[in-house]
Amino acid sequence: MTLDKLLDKGARVMWVAAHPDDESMVGPILAKAGPKLGNPLYFLVLTHGEGGGCAIAEGCHPDLGTVRGKEMQKVAELYHATLQHEHYWNAPLPGSSFPKRHLIARKWTDENGDPTLKIAKAIRGFKPDVLLTFSPIVGFTGHPEHQISSRFATAAVRLAADRTPTLDGEPFTVGHVYYGLNHIWAYRLFGGGDPLECTEVFDVRQPCIQGKTCVQIGAEYTLPHRSQNDDMETVRMVSRLLSVARLRLTDPFTEIYDPYEPTDRRGNRQN
């Protein structure tokens, strides 16, 4: 059964991501789940994005993380989603200075506790039918925090299903885990985008609410992210060109990606 059909049947959806505004890249799917169908929707965002830039002319006060946290709350309300917003460290710009992926994963765990445990606890509490995240290799834009958020999310799916004394609550198995893929031709033309194979597509131009399509609603719901307006303008521009979102249905019990796997600066495995 496709994700589209699962949503039509009332699937409970959990979105796991690294940053406020990451939901914009799968916005049409979330727009159908929450605003159109009223399905239970849960956003788990691991950082407040304090390492980014501020596009608000008068500045981001008292600090960028606080501003982005409030923006994320407004967006979650638009999507009718419950928001769990954590405070893991966000690597500061520029991207060329980001630490290696596995070093960020270790820093997160050492400083603020294992994200796997927090996500697994949320899974047991919310009991999603569908968990949606980015791909674990490129993570839509190449950001290492997108990649490790995905890896922690799928590790959490395994942990939530396990009978372990380290986690409260009854074991719960997520039925469907999807990666949102970036197969946008412009990214792939310049060597970007996700290398994982697409297993299904989602029609983003299907009717949603207020006489608008799901992709139009997803674009509209980027507007509260004022501090990230430059990036959101790009998202809104690209969304006008899209007809489908590409997804990969994965089995996290057999397709395993370790967040602590040593990599070089390009994300390649180190032997």
The β-bridge partners of 132 are: 15, 178
Q: Is the dihedral of CA 216, 122, 267, 246 positive or negative?
A: negative
Classify residue 251 by burial, with Cβ atoms within 10 Å: 0-12, 13-18, 19+.
exposed
Report, as an integer, the average pLDDT of 114-137. 97
- Tell me how many degrees the CA angle 94-100-103 measures, rounded to the nearest 5: 120
- From residue 110, alpha-carbon distances to 94, 128, 138, 149 in Å are 23, 28, 24, 15
Report, as an integer, the average pLDDT of 264-270. 52
Alpha helices in the chain (DSSP H): 3-8, 27-31, 64-78, 101-112, 115-126, 144-161, 185-189, 214-220, 229-239
pTM as predicted: 0.95
Domain 3-250 has CATH 3.40.50.10320: yes
At 206, the amino acid letter reads Q
Q: How confident is the model at residue 95 (pLDDT cuts 50, 70, 90)?
A: confident
Half-sphere exposure of 144 (CA within 13 A, CB side): 31
Task: Give residue 268's pLDDT.
Answer: 57
Q: What is the pLDDT of residues 211-232, one digit of tens each?
A: 999 999 999 999 999 999 999 9
Residue 269 pLDDT > 80: no
Tokens, residue 260: 């602590």
Q: What is the pLDDT of residues 167-210, one digit of tens each?
A: 888 999 999 999 999 998 766 655 567 899 999 999 999 999 99
Distance CA 38, CA 20 (A): 22
- From residue 229, alpha-carbon distances to 165, 185, 226, 237 in Å are 44, 23, 5, 12
Measuring CA to CA, which residue among 152, 106, 116, 121 is closest to residue 257? 152
Task: Give residue 164's pLDDT.
Answer: 77
Place of tokens 């954590």: 86
